Amino acid sequence: MAIRTYGIFWRWHFLAGAIACPIILIVALTGALYSFQPEIERALQRSLAVVEPDGLPHGLDAIERVLPADCTPRSYGLPSSPRRAIRVSCTGGRDLMVDPYGPRVLGTWHANRFFELVFGLHWELLLGNSGRIAIEWATSWTLMLMLSGAYLWWPRGKTGGAWWPRRGARIAPRQRLRDLHAVFGAYAIPCLMAIAATGLFWTVWAGEDRWHRLEGNAVTRVMQPPPVSTASSGTRITAQQALAASGLVDGKRAVSIVPPTTPTAAYLLFGYDDEFEFPSYGAVVYVDAYSGARLRDLRWSDLSALSKLDRSAYSIHVGALIGLPGRILACLAALLLAGLAVTGPWMWWKRRPRGKLGVPPRAQHVPRGLLVVIAALGWTLPAVGWTLLVVIGYEIIRWGGHAWRRRGGRGIPM
């Protein structure tokens, strides 16, 4: 039974890796680059992003007075650090960086085109929605690769090449390559599983169609439909007054303010940690544009356990949940995943029989318990489930063709 199960895992590990490795390589390398995207962008545009504290910062009323006449604020981005500039997004798509200690406009913020390309590859392979589905498929099968890889690596009483790569002149290059792939891959599995699983939160099938329905879309529900202000005319409160009324100013969290765009609309304010280390700083507050009353207020304590996990997904995905060490760990894990996507096909190339593909043989029988596990994983990961249905359909057609040929081409095999 153990030998048969090992063969099943080996075949699926091989087939999934052979097909998914090119996409995994792209996603892993772009993910490693994106781990430190905020820090790198701030360093590249330091003159716009970093300010020197000089006394107390001015409020938004003073900042509005130094904005160009053609800038109608669409949102304000207030950072958590006193050493960072405030971002004012104007209607028309321009983002101005403002030193709150002047106050003075530092210039226009331009998104880094290189990181736009990196994000586009990481998010959708630059192919739109079809690229998102391809990435979801590869990410889902990456989870299957790690689970099957852990099973294949499990020592089962062996010591050589299990806990550390074998060394010595007598170790063949092929064995050394296998040890590197298996041992370091096994040690990285917990981190890689966390990164891959949280990456699925923003996918089409597993994320939007499966997870967010299960989670209940708590933040979306509190925002839709948006509340209306108690009056549609009169004197509106300022953005600074709405900020004070929100209760979000605590010296820890960053705050984004969206002014009302219609007479009855309210101010919308988001609280968050712009370092992504503390998801619990997240908050959504609507403030009446005339009375200053809080119309709707969603804090961390109001969320369910599943919603809290959903709000923490990005922090886990980039490793920020444990600060700089976590970001470094996530970056190294992504680079290791890229290495696994290279060493896997490399091993196949070195071990394949001459003139053949060297695909592991098909199992004649699959244990019932394993079928239950596969079915559960297929439901949890729809991309895996659809793949399995395609494979089952192919096997049925293939079996039917064999049966038809055995009958001499007469009748339809049932």
Q: What is the pLDDT, as a whole number, of residue 181?
A: 92
Identify whether the C-beta of residue 98 lies closer than 8 Å to the C-beta of residue 106. Answer: yes
CA 317 to CA 322: how far, in whole Å?
11
Which residue in this structure is represented by tokens 């490399």? 346
Please tell me the number of Cα atoms within 13 Å of 76 on its side-chain side.
Answer: 24
Worst-scoring range by mean pLDDT, 67-71, 210-214, 309-313, 385-389? 210-214
- Helix, coil or strand: residue 296: strand
- Phi and psi for 248 in degrees, rounded to 5? -95, -10
CA 142 to CA 140: how far, in whole Å?
5
Q: What is the mean pLDDT of the chain?
A: 89
Degrees, nearest 5: CA angle 62-75-113:
115
Q: What is the pLDDT, as a whole number, of residue 222?
A: 64
Q: Name which of 68, 62, 74, 55 is nearest 103 in CA terms.
A: 62
DSSP string of 305-349? Answer: HHHHHHHHHHHHHTTGGGHHHHHHHHHHHHHHHHHHHHHHHHHHH
Identify whether the C-beta of residue 224 lies closer than 8 Å to the C-beta of residue 185. Answer: no
* Cis peptide, bond prior to residue 367, ω within 30 of zero: no
Domain extents for the chain?
46-109, 368-406
pLDDT band (50, 70, 90) for residue 112: confident
Distances (CA, A) of 335 to 24, 148, 192, 320, 321: 11, 20, 11, 17, 19
- Helix, coil or strand: residue 377: helix
- Helix, coil or strand: residue 163: coil
If you ran DSSP here, which 8-state letter would residue 84 be given? B
pLDDT over 90 (residue 149)? yes
pLDDT band (50, 70, 90) for residue 413: very low
CA 10 to CA 153: how far, in whole Å?
10
pLDDT over 50 (residue 213)? yes
Q: What is the pLDDT, as a whole number, of residue 217?
A: 65
What stretches of 45-108 show up as alpha helix (H) in DSSP?
A: 46-49, 60-65
Average pLDDT over residues 77-93: 95
